[in-house]
Structure 1
Amino acid sequence: MTDQTEKEKTVSFGFEEVTPDEKVARVKGVFRSVASRYDVMNDLMSAGVHRLWKHDTIAKLNPQPGEKLLDVAGGTGDLAKAFIDRADRAGRRRRRDALASAVVCDINDAMLDAGRARPDMAAYEGRINWVCGDAQALPFEDRSVDAVTIAFGIRNVADRSAALSEFRRVLKTGGRLAVLEFSHMTVPMLQRMYDTYSFNVIPKLGELVASDRESYQYLVESIRKFPKQQVFREEVEAAGFSSVSVTSFSGGIAALHFGWAV
């Protein structure tokens, strides 16, 4: 086997090149390690701004009564809760009784356990289901959901094109895809400042709060390896999504890629 063939069979795990199977296994290890402190660390790393980004993501989705969300790499269920809450508000305004529902699908059982254990999840009993599954081979039927979300998870997938194709497969005609991910600053000087913060502060926070410096070192590196906004937009379009838009948040620290299944 040639060196070129071997190279084609590797993907990035932070700044390392590994096989796709190794990336899957190591990503599982990262999130199993940080699951119990995941929400706390998200608040610390973003100064709570990730909640505003998620709010705007759900607003863009415009959930309606009776719709079903699939939240891939859904972690502890933030987007699932917000989707149902917004759909319920729309139902009250329109006097519709149909209830929205959500499925949180995550490859990591520890993240699902952390989500189910949240005290505020009791109010969503029967409306949020928790499924252990791989974004690259979703265990759901074709055209079975109205919306798919993935927040801060697509960069951890070994084969993004396979995952995007799966998102397209499970969406109903007219369904919406929302991919929220850390991205690249739109001003180079700001990018350098953000890099300095990311590489010097976030791993230390991980060590102090979650007792895991290495996992947060990987997370910082994985953000830098993720493609820029326009490049990832082309990947979403190549998977068959239409009218794909990109919204950069906080100067490009994060970006929302939104598309339609038509």
Structure 2
Amino acid sequence: MTDIVSFGYEDIPATEKTARVGEVFAGVASRYDLMNDAMSGGMHRLWKDRFVARVKPQAHEQILDMAGGTGDIAFRLAKSGAAITVADINPAMLDVGMERAAERGFDGLVWTEANAEDLQFPDRFFDAYTIAFGIRNVTDIPKALREAHRVLRRGGRFYCLEFSTTTWPGFKDVYDAYSHKVVPKLGKLLANDEDSYRYLIESIRRFPDMPTFKGMIADAGFVQTKVEPLLGGLVAIHSGWKI
């Protein structure tokens, strides 16, 4: 990892990023669903349904949902009867998730504070690792991918849902204008937090494109890596297997 990393469009020392990202999510945790609705026009719910359908969770499995603090993915996975561990570096996000779980009757989930770059779980422990809209906020993405590989059993699968860069002509320009000009204003209106929403949009633009990120997953040791673009790559489901 280099000493300088991106924080939105700003380049900052790597040692500062985790704390600054933490401040963003601590500020928006209570309005996380609202944030996702504003950024995606509500479509994030459909994307998450499709994502979990690709994971194909089974009742006997141990699954780690990384950066899953508010429970959006975990609740969907838990319907299969799988044992779900929800991990997030941000306590505020976990607090929201645990409150939501209690309201919805999901009492079998394990909630734990964890850094994706340095997981406390043993080698070869999980059958599947999921991360949705979280990998781009990690300071050292290759290290996090290697950790994902380490904690998976042989035959384990990695699934990542993340914003990317759409390749549809015309649509890209429309979405760029919407995200840069409208979403921060919605953040100001709905959450009184324009800066956090602006960072989230900028972090999408700085994230590697689909072929590059697919290569990063392979470099971490995964095989049969695949990418499924949604809306031409505005969002993508990346996957790989550990053998």
Shorter-normalised TM range: over 0.9
Give the equivalent residue in structure 2 for 1:67: 61
Give the equivalent residue in structure 1 for 2:42: 48
In the alignment, structure 2 segments of 5+ residues that lack a partner are none
Give the equivalent residue in structure 2 for 1:95: none
Helix, strand or coil at the partner of 1:75: coil
Cα gap change, 1:181 to 1:219, in 2 (>3 Å): same
Give the equivalent residue in structure 2 for 1:35: 29
Q: CA contact under 8 A between 1:140 and 1:170: conserved in structure 2?
A: yes
How well do the aligned residues superpose, as a CA RMSD in angstroms?
A: 1.4
Give the equivalent residue in structure 2 for 1:176: 157
State the shift of 1:119 in Å.
Answer: 5.6
The alignment status of 1:252 with 2:242, answered yes or no, reads no
User: How does 1:73-92 map onto structure 2 within 5 Å?
Assistant: 73-85=67-79, 87-88=80-81
CA distance in 1, matches of 2:226, 2:101: 35
Cα gap change, 1:121 to 1:105, in 2 (>3 Å): farther
CA distance in 2, matches of 1:242, 1:15: 32
CA distance in 1, matches of 2:194, 2:18: 19
Letter in 2 for 1:113: D
CA distance in 2, matches of 1:107, 1:121: 23
State the shift of 1:45 in Å.
Answer: 2.1
The alignment status of 1:110 with 2:104, answered yes or no, reads no
State the shift of 1:121 in Å.
Answer: 5.0
Letter in 2 for 1:118: R
State the shift of 1:52 in Å.
Answer: 1.1
Give the equivalent residue in structure 2 for 1:96: none
Q: CA contact under 8 A between 2:3 and 2:13: conserved in structure 1?
A: yes
State the shift of 1:249 in Å.
Answer: 0.8
Give the equivalent residue in structure 2 for 1:22: 16
CA distance in 1, matches of 2:176, 2:157: 32
- Count matched residues: 243
Higher alpha-carbon deviation: 189-198 or 39-48: 39-48
Q: CA contact under 8 A between 2:71 and 2:101: conserved in structure 1?
A: no
CA distance in 1, matches of 2:209, 2:116: 21
Give the equivalent residue in structure 1 for 2:194: 213
Letter in 2 for 1:16: E
User: How does 1:60-209 map onto structure 2 within 5 Å?
Assistant: 60-85=54-79, 87-88=80-81, 100-118=82-100, 121-125=103-107, 127-209=108-190
1:81-103 CA deviation, whole Å, 9 max, x = no partner? 11111x24xxxxxxxxxxx2111
In the alignment, structure 1 segments of 5+ residues that lack a partner are 1-6, 89-99
Letter in 2 for 1:29: E
Q: CA contact under 8 A between 2:225 and 2:241: conserved in structure 1?
A: yes
CA distance in 2, matches of 1:184, 1:120: 36
Helix, strand or coil at the partner of 2:170: helix
State the shift of 1:15 in Å.
Answer: 0.6
What percent identity do the matched residue pairs reach? 49
Q: CA contact under 8 A between 1:69 and 1:80: conserved in structure 2?
A: no
Letter in 2 for 1:104: V
CA distance in 2, matches of 1:241, 1:119: 32
Normalization by structure 2: what TM-score?
Answer: 0.96
Which is greater in Rg? Answer: 1
